[in-house]
Amino acid sequence: KTTGTAVPAVVGADLRVPLVTGERVTYANLDHAASAPCLQEVRDAVDELLPWYASVHRGAGFASQVSTRVYEQARDRVRKFIGAHSSDAVVFTRNTTDALNLLARSVPKGTAVVLFDSEHHAALLPWRGPNVQRIPAPTSSGAAVVALDRALAAAPVGPRLVIVTGASNVTGELWPVAELAKVARRHGARIALDAAQLAPHRPVNARELGVDYVAFSGHKIYAPFGAGVLVGRADWLQQAQPYLVGGGATSKVTDHGDRLGVAWSAVPERHEAGSPNVVGVHALAAACEILSRHWEQTVAHEQELLTRLREGLRTIPGFRELSILTDADKVGVVSFTIPGFDAGFLAAALSAEYGIGVRDGAFCAHVIVGRLVKQNGSHEDRAVRASIGLGTTAEHVDRLVAALRTLVTEGPKWTYTQRDGRWVP
Ligand code: PMP
């Protein structure tokens, strides 16, 4: 069901924040790529569950039964959201980082891993060592496909895994996932999709894309913090040692005097030791369902604002956008440098003088950001990132463009000093 033409409302749209002058203005949150605001309907779903939540699985009480049902239903809702196979395991984690680390711990010994060096640290760092091939970031979608083909042709025989992001957290560019998956398949490799940035902005269908694993986070799809998920083929996960050990991950523990005998549970419980985050998982699943009902409006809203943002930013003297795949479409993420202006200073002044929240730094992708910023002719290794989503309005975008123009052409209204690596007014 589609509910009219409006996009789903977010919580905190009328939040007012103090400026350095003491005046208060509506907060322009242009940092959706870091964490998206909670949807109003997600908050309602959480509110509804709060009186009922209890520990799942092991409780016989009515509230435990309700919570268990809610928790297990969330697996089906996630599976549906990303078009997973009914046989796929749905393991709830803390976030995408946790999900990708779980996958890294679960691959068979000696698995050859291939990835681009433009990946987020969550996808890059769990895979180090002699079996990992890091491909220098390509400059076009076609080059990405060719480079992966070459890398896999040279990969040792045995199990193989490709990791790729759906959308870059640095540039918002969409990676040619379906084409990369075809290449992976041809070389007998599995492919895992880091959907942390893709899932909030575009429908993801694992079956149509041909990917074997999908990871994403609740807090980037408009649910509060604390829950993420890894969905994918169950066999490796089933053969792996439990990710955490403790209650829930075992079906039977026996005392053999000098040692404990432990029978580990099957997936997904095998990797979900401890009391699970029922409320977080419920919020994540609610967000999945709400987004699924509004793709058309969501994509149209974001693309309109993205065009407005890029057209406005291009009129700022010195503005240079970071780009990896120069031919790719993108979601609402724009990272940029302005020669002569430190990224941290710009971000601090935008917040203090204009009530605008953006991000500065290297966005947990130090390798690629360092390279792109240098290509832009900057001596820094940092950029500013503005990212939009369902909480963004045209006024936020226009305010950012006007504020940057003033900062660049007239300078700040306040003086700033650097303290502990941050600029403070
Ligand atoms: N992958 C990408 C592409 C991301 O943008 C992020 C978050 N910035 C992550 C992984 C990690 O997500 P989380 O912090 O929720 O674990």
93 C-beta closer than 6 A to ligand 1: no
Whether the predicted model's global pTM rises above the 0.95 cut: yes
What's the confidence (pLDDT) of residue 3?
45
Please name each of the domains of the chain with its CATH number. Answer: 16-30+295-424 (3.90.1150.10), 42-292 (3.40.640.10)
> Of 17, 19, 132, 364, which is the active-site residue?
364
**Distance (Å, whole) CA 278 – CA 284:** 10
CA of 20 to the centre of ligand 1 (A): 31
Centroid of ligand 1 to alpha carbon of 361 (angstroms): 15
Dump strand ranges (E) for 268-346: 320-321, 333-337
pLDDT beyond 70 at 4: no
Q: Is the pLDDT of residue 180 over 60?
A: yes
Q: Are 232 and 91 a contacting pair, CB within 8 Å?
A: no
231 φ/ψ angles, rounded to the nearest 5 degrees: -120, 140
Beta strands (DSSP E) in 108-245 are: 112-116, 132-135, 160-165, 190-194, 213-217, 228-232
Pocket of ligand 1 contains residue 120 by CB under 6 Å: yes
Interval 139-165: pLDDT, tens: 999 999 999 999 999 999 999 999 999
CA dihedral 8, 10, 11, 13 (to 10 degrees): -130
Distance 286 CA to ligand 1 centre (A): 20
pLDDT at 37: 98
Atom of ligand 1 nearest to the CA of 98: 16
Q: Candidates 220, 230, 333: which one to mutate for ligand 1, based on the most atoms within 8 Å of Cβ?
A: 220
- Whether 101 is in the pocket of ligand 1, judged by its Cβ within 6 Å, is no
**Is residue 421 predicted with pLDDT exceeding 90?**
no
User: Ligand 1 in contact with 97 (CB < 6 A)?
Assistant: yes
What count of other Cβ atoms lies within 10 Å of the Cβ of residue 80? 13
Percent of the chain, pLDDT > 70? 99
Residue where the block lists tokens 């929240």: 357
Q: How large is the average pLDDT for residues 185-207?
A: 98
Place of tokens 């998982």: 281
pLDDT at 381: 85
CA-nearest residue for atom 6, ligand 1, is 196
At 2 the pLDDT is: 42
The answer, yes or no, to whether ipTM is higher than 0.95 is yes
Task: Give strand pairing partners of 291.
Answer: none
Q: What is the mean pLDDT of residues 42-70?
A: 92
Distance 25 CA to ligand 1 centre (A): 29
Q: Residue 388 pLDDT > 60, yes or no?
A: yes
Q: How far is the CA of 196 from the centre of ligand 1 (A)?
A: 5
In the predicted model, is pLDDT for residue 172 greater than 90? yes
Residue 364 catalytic?
A: yes
